[in-house]
Chains A and B, each alone.
Chain A
């Protein structure tokens, strides 16, 4: 399978616990994005990486959230001291930035987080 993969697919945790999600992009893609989608809403941008550099972060990404892409390949999104409001689907997408700037983002299956 050469698509974007995410792990785990589902996570149930208790409030106050830390969780970490992983995203493996399509291998030749240099850009990686994280989005959050709550029930009945469209995905909202959280952050993105160009190779290993984190170039933009949304205001939605509070200081409890941290994302890394240490080698410019896979990425992790960690949420510390989870709150019930963090319950959502976390989507990862990757793309290859070209000189023509025509860019298609390919999305993974998402990680559904439930904070009890």
Chain B
């Protein structure tokens, strides 16, 4: 059974700082890995999707990497802003047929202080 872990559970940084969020998964046979953002009381917004054949994806100030051999993914946020404050979730989709069924981590709650 796939298990996804995110460390740290919470992070507070001053505005402008570059930061890295970590995601670890136990089963390297994933089909893709996705990073989401969740604002309090809201649904999920997809940020980046990395296919198993890819190493990284970039969107604006966000860069996500995937290392299947070590079972890790990182989300890099450059020049953080107060508007980046939210909970960030990673989710892996398995390769074996049920690839639509993603397993989520518990999230990292980020606070960017002005």
A: residues with CB less than 8 A from B are 4, 6, 31, 33, 40-45, 48, 56, 91, 93, 95, 97, 101-110, 112
Contact = CB atoms under 8 A, between A and B. Distances in A.
B85 interface: no
Given A45-B101, A48-B101, A101-B31, A91 B43 contact: yes
B51 A102 contact: yes
A42 B51 contact: no
A107 B104 contact: no
B100 A42 contact: no
Contact of A109 (B43, B89, B98): B43
Given A42-B4, A42-B91, A102-B32, A110 B42 contact: yes
Query: Would you list the 5 A-B pairs with minimal beta carbon distance, nearest first?
Result: A42-B104, A107-B44, A109-B43, A107-B43, A110-B43
A108 B43 contact: yes
A4 B46 CA distance: 13
Contacts of A91: 43-44
Interface in B51-102: 51, 89, 91, 93, 98-102
Contacts of A107: 36, 43-46
A106 B99 CA distance: 16
Contacts of A6: 43
Nearest to B45: A107
Main secondary structure of the interface of B (DSSP, over half): strand
B46 A42 contact: no
Contacts of B101: 45, 48, 56
Contacts of A33: 100
A83 B39 CA distance: 27
A102 B32 CA distance: 8
Given A42-B105, A44-B104, A48-B100, A105 B46 contact: yes
A41 B106 contact: yes
B114 interface: no
B49 interface: yes
Nearest to A47: B101
